[in-house]
Structure 1
Amino acid sequence: MNISLVIRNVEAADEGAWRRLWAGYNRFYEAAVPADVTGRTWERLLDAANPLFCRVAEKEGEVIGFTNSVLHEGTWVNEPICYLEDLFVTHEARGNGVGRALIRDLVDLGRKQGWSRLYWHTRENNPARRLYDEFVQADDFVRYRMDL
């Protein structure tokens, strides 16, 4: 990676940048997250007592990527599990190692904090799978999802 990145916890001052990236992420997945859900998500990302957290990648003072993750308990392990729910990097910054650095940040953070595992889902045809496969191969589980 030939760029100087800072990866850090999101701060209240990052709201505008995070919302722009969040909108781009939702466009990529052709999703429409209601404004009240986005607002509540932002509030939870800033709440240190909430298991939802955000890390941002910043280059020269500009936030160019993020991960939104959830720490949760599990029934097969004693240590927390981290679900990387959302990862997004600006189109202009892609291919420069930002996504790799964001995942590496979570791996390092998890090892430091004693998490048992890190996992994420993506669409089968997501071009980012080339990057994800550098960290770990996809397993053979099938996801079932029921909206309630």
Structure 2
Amino acid sequence: MNDIIIRDIQPLDETEWRRLWDGYNAFYETSVASEITSRTWQRILDPGSSVMGRIAEIGANPVGFSVSVLHHGTWVAGPVCYLEDLFVDPACRGKGIGRKLIQDLVDRGREKSWSTLYWHTRDDNPARRLYDEFVEADEFVRYRLQF
């Protein structure tokens, strides 16, 4: 796990990030319109955006990523971080990459005085074994209206 580097996503990562992004969308059996993917990419790179992208590398090879959104909360003083997207290349799973990506956000949250880090996933996602090592799922149910 020591050879895994987590760092900010850089403009030169676009091709590999998009490859991983496509894998992420395939995992969730969905597709994101190319203009939305491009907009997400631009937000990740924009230092004024609330969207934050981190990439995991082994050697010089990107093998996973996290995309998070920092926002204000009504019940807390510090920023809230929503881990919206987390993905590890299937060929690289089982090496601690997902754990390191989450731990990276935990460490940043402590360093930057965030109040909360949260995420959600499908109830049948095998990665829940990893997520449960950080915190147990709570009792909330998600409702979602799309417009």
TM class, shorter-length: over 0.9
If the length of structure 1 is used for normalisation, what is the TM-score?
Answer: 0.98
Cα distance between partner residues in 1 of 2:136 and 2:10: 33
Cα distance between partner residues in 1 of 2:69 and 2:122: 19
Tell me the alpha carbon deviations over residues 108-138 of structure 1, each in whole angstroms, 9 at most, x when there is no partner: 0010011001000000000000000000000
Cα distance between partner residues in 2 of 1:117 and 1:76: 10
Cα distance between partner residues in 2 of 1:40 and 1:96: 31
Query: Percent identical across equivalent pairs?
Result: 58
CA positional deviation for 1:60: 0.6
Aligned to 2:19: 20
SS at match of 1:17: helix
SS at match of 1:111: helix
Tell me the alpha carbon deviations over residues 55-104 of structure 1, each in whole angstroms, 9 at most, x when there is no partner: 00011100000000000000000100000000000011101100000000
SS at match of 2:142: coil
Pairing of 1:1-148 with structure 2 (within 5 A): 1=1, 3-148=2-147
What is the identity, as a one-letter code, of the residue corresponding to 2:21?
A: W
Q: Structure 1: which 5+ runs fail to align?
A: none
Cα distance between partner residues in 1 of 2:92 and 2:49: 29
SS at match of 1:58: strand
Q: What CA RMSD, in Å, does the superposition of the two structures yield over aligned residues?
A: 0.6
Structure 1 residue runs of 4+, over 4 Å off? none
